[in-house]
Amino acid sequence: MMPPPQRQGVGSAHSKLILIGEHAVVYGQPAIALPFPLLNVTSTVENGNNGIYLTSEFFTGPISNLPNQLKGIGMCIFETLDKLQAPTKELHIRLVSNIPIGRGLGSSAAIAVAIVRSLFSYFEQKLSRQTLMSLVHVAETYAHGNPSGIDMACVSSTKPIWFEKGEEVVPIHLAQPLHLLVADTGRVGDTWSAVTAVRKSYLSKNTGTKASIERLGALTIKARENLAGDQSMELGRLLNAAHEELVNIGVSDEGLDQLVKAAQQAGALGAKLTGGGRGGCILALAHNQNHAEELSQALLDVGAQQTWACTLSSE
């Protein structure tokens, strides 16, 4: 059955912040990730007349012409249409996103989730979580090599999550709101090369990397205990310690370290890089909302390109 004219399907997803545990999560350690609804993407699908055509800030044209770094999105679209046994491949997909790309905020996973949701909506089919994850995995594998799956789990979750590779995702309750400041170095990170470099070191005789990965796991377990109580001072210390371990495994850089230091000097309870690193963003834990705004100014003063202050709570 051909879809009637002016039919529309809409899907969206938000970005994510890895609070603690990135990189270690690839080796089976736990990680905690938070939905970050300030930044989000919406995909709208309508009838087209030009094959599958994508309109977005970063690429406009037929998806057969997608640049290399976006080919995973194209593969995900084809897999989704196959799954839907789509009766037409004349579609116009429009993306509107305010998630900066390549900053460890889950843009690629959020785009893929939004597109899959919008295609299922367009063809009026129910989308199970399992199907969503398996379709988005196609795009994430292309972008990241061998992703742990934390990004796609978090950008499609409304709750903070406890994530262990290959295990059921567990929602986490925050006993107290988290006042966070996210600051962007303005430089695109390269998760793929960071993950590859860590793996090389992990598989070599570099016991330092292995020990850091294990310590990151232990810090994450402690962070979960702190989130369940009101121990933000201790949580801040854990974030600082996690940043040190990420420095040890070689995924931080001068720009990230400078922002982390500036946040700590401005009184942040803790600060660390978030996501793949080597560019991208840091997050800092503030005392309250006003303090998060103060941290924002301090980080802009030392060269952050942009910042976002937010309070996340279980409500």
**Binding footprint of ligand PMV on the chain (CB under 6 A):** 18, 22-23, 25-26, 104, 106, 144, 147-148, 150-151, 189, 191, 195, 275-276
> Which of 46, 140 has the CB closer to ligand PMV?
140
Query: Min. distance of Cβ 120 from ligand PMV in angstroms?
Result: 24
Q: What distance in Å separates the CA atoms of residue 164 and residue 161, rounded to the nearest whole number?
A: 10
Q: What distance in Å separates the CA atoms of residue 251 and residue 272, rounded to the nearest whole number?
A: 11
Query: Min. distance of Cβ 105 from ligand PMV in angstroms?
Result: 7
Contact 44, 12 (CB under 8 A): no
Query: Min. distance of Cβ 241 from ligand PMV in angstroms?
Result: 17
Query: Min. distance of Cβ 24 from ligand PMV in angstroms?
Result: 8
Residue 70 has a CB neighbour count (10 Å cut-off) of: 21
Query: Min. distance of Cβ 209 from ligand PMV in angstroms?
Result: 14
Listed in sequence order, the DSSP H helices in the chain are 71-84, 107-122, 129-144, 150-155, 191-203, 207-228, 232-248, 254-265, 289-301
- At position 140, the amino acid (one-letter code) is E
Residue 301 has a CB neighbour count (10 Å cut-off) of: 10
> Which of 26, 132 has the CB closer to ligand PMV?
26
Q: How many helices (H) and strands (E) does the chain have?
A: 9, 11
> Which of 80, 191 has the CB closer to ligand PMV?
191
> Which of 33, 309 has the CB closer to ligand PMV?
33
> Which of 150, 241 has the CB closer to ligand PMV?
150
> Which of 273, 310 has the CB closer to ligand PMV?
273
Q: What distance in Å separates the CA atoms of residue 111 and residue 197, rounded to the nearest whole number?
A: 26
> Which of 165, 287 has the CB closer to ligand PMV?
165
Buried b (16+ CB within 10 A) or exposed e, 168-191: ebeebeeeeebbbbbbbbebebbb
> Which of 18, 119 has the CB closer to ligand PMV?
18
Query: Min. distance of Cβ 191 from ligand PMV in angstroms?
Result: 4
Q: What distance in Å separates the CA atoms of residue 156 and residue 76, rounded to the nearest whole number?
A: 16
Rg (CA), the chain: 20
Query: Min. distance of Cβ 223 from ligand PMV in angstroms?
Result: 15
Query: Min. distance of Cβ 144 from ligand PMV in angstroms?
Result: 5
Query: Min. distance of Cβ 16 from ligand PMV in angstroms?
Result: 7
Please choose, from the candidates 195, 224, 198, the residue with its C-alpha nearest in 3D space to the C-alpha of residue 212: 198
> Which of 117, 144 has the CB closer to ligand PMV?
144
Contact 154, 16 (CB under 8 A): yes
In the chain, how long is the greatest CA-to-CA distance? 62
Extract the tokens encoding 290: 């006003």
